[in-house]
Structure 1
Amino acid sequence: MVNIYLVRHGKTMFNTIGRAQGWSDTPLTEAGELGIIELGLGFKEKEIKFDRAYSSDSGRTIQTMGFILSHSDNEGIPYRFDKRIREWCFGSFDGGYDGELFDGVLPRIFAENGSFNGTFPDDEKIANAIFAVDTAGWAEPWEKLSGRIIEGFTDIAREAETTGSKNIVIVSHGMTIGSFVKLINPELPRPRGLDNGSVTHLTFEDGKFTVGLVGDMSYRTLGNQKLNALQN
């Protein structure tokens, strides 16, 4: 069985000012770096040794992984990027303010086509709505988006299982992680608002994922306590 520690990347410039990041990229802020240092120290305190590491090919996840591995004493393990576990692409809305897309454009689309009933639509409707209004032609319809998310994480887990890995760490993105959890366990509520540096626990065995604790902040809390103790 493979234990999977699925991490949302550290807080970035765009996260801080409320912009939709998608496939565009900004670096971690100073506070974002500190949060991931705390995460790494939390893993270290729990004596978690990773056999392999994976992330998307976005700069913010690569930067996050560097801090995790160095501060958890896991440097030098096999590590590779996989573009299939990137964030959703928002096409021409990449880099725009979250409010413009999620509180403005999308609700108008859903109201116009009669699909808004007071609760926010599911991922499929959101993805297809973004695809429909994207003037750049970069956004992905739900079939393509969900397919590459499932394929990417499944291939990673299978590789880890084949190589005999017990513990792996993956750094991905908030909406991608939320979609993935819902895809592998439709009975669970769709995770929203996952904190930067949070950990979603999964296991993989015989081709099947099992979802554990979602959005766990205990490692960061433990690392924060350790960091404060070192500074005092």
Structure 2
Amino acid sequence: MAKTRLYIARHGKTMFNTIGRAQGWSDTPLTAEGEFGIKELGLGLKDAGLHFKEAFSSDSGRTLQTMEIILREIGQEDIPYTRDKRIREWCFGSLDGGYDGDLFNGVLPRIFDKDMSKLSHQELAEGIYRVDTAGWAETWEVLSSRIMEGFTAIAEKIAAQGGGDVIVVSHGMTIGTFLWLVDHNTPRSLGLDNGSISIVEYDDGKFTVKTIGDRSYRLRGREILEERENEK
């Protein structure tokens, strides 16, 4: 049986990413720069000779748009594709769509007595839950459970088919949370770049983090585009 590998990409750069707003369950499309970055990623994945068994993303528009570009560039648009709301981004409740600075440098620091960068995922989630005035944010238990359930369902589905590689598009904080749930040595403040790839293996019911935030596929795709331009 082949190993089951999840190639987990963070979606391309969006309008809210660009102007520093907390996106969460709100949604904006990829910018032209964001689309180009994912084109680079797709070309890099294709150049690496990767063939994916299936594709999975959250149900957010920005991940769907990202996946569409990836599958087109790698020439694998016909593989099975599942949208799963369990691998959505964190929900910031009433602060969803607000400026990152207001959330992480204004509202949240008022309820903590330590450096925000030192907070655990659980502390951060509980803080967001406390300051949310709309009652939309998730508790840590709900948040961590749905993220783990989502990625586990993907891995178990592919493992049951004999294993193989799959492409998954999700969100920065969701990916970071999943990596930490798998390996608590993973730092919280990863700063995963848009279009980066994290690889997680699943074998005999256990996940192993192999790569975090790899930008080499995008960089290779950029080289390919530059080579094409120079050939003109």
TM over 0.5: yes
Which category describes the TM-score, using the shorter chain as reference length? over 0.9
State TM-score, norm by structure 1: 0.96
The Cα offsets for residues 185-224 of structure 1, whole Å up to 9 and x where unpaired, read as 1123235210000000111111111101100000000000
C-alpha change, 1:33 and 1:118, in structure 2 (3 Å) is closer
**2:11–2:62 Cα contact (<8 Å) kept:** yes
Task: Show the counterpart of 2:17.
Answer: 15
Task: Show the counterpart of 1:36.
Answer: 38
Q: What is the deviation of 1:118?
A: 7.2
**1:91–1:139 Cα contact (<8 Å) kept:** yes
Q: Secondary structure at the match of 1:209?
A: strand
Task: Show the counterpart of 1:69.
Answer: 71
CA distance in 2, matches of 1:94, 1:68: 27
CA distance in 2, matches of 1:181, 1:5: 12
Q: What is the deviation of 1:86?
A: 0.2
Q: Which of 158, 182, 185 matches 2:183?
A: 185
CA distance in 2, matches of 1:31, 1:13: 10
**1:198–1:216 Cα contact (<8 Å) kept:** yes
Could you tell me which amino acid in structure 2 is paired with residue 3 of structure 1? R
**2:24–2:89 Cα contact (<8 Å) kept:** yes
Q: Secondary structure at the match of 1:187?
A: coil
Task: Show the counterpart of 2:147.
Answer: 149
Q: Secondary structure at the match of 2:211?
A: coil
Q: Structure 2 unaligned runs (5+)?
A: none
C-alpha change, 1:77 and 1:123, in structure 2 (3 Å) is same
CA distance in 2, matches of 1:123, 1:167: 28
Q: Which of 200, 205, 219 matches 1:221?
A: 219
Q: What is the deviation of 1:117?
A: 5.5
**2:6–2:168 Cα contact (<8 Å) kept:** yes
User: What percent of counterpart residues are identical?
Assistant: 58
**1:61–1:172 Cα contact (<8 Å) kept:** yes
Task: Show the counterpart of 1:4.
Answer: 6
CA distance in 2, matches of 1:38, 1:120: 34
Q: Secondary structure at the match of 2:50?
A: coil
Could you tell me which amino acid in structure 2 is paired with residue 33 of structure 1? E
**1:181–1:190 Cα contact (<8 Å) kept:** no
Aligned length: 228
State TM-score, norm by structure 2: 0.96
Q: Secondary structure at the match of 1:213?
A: strand
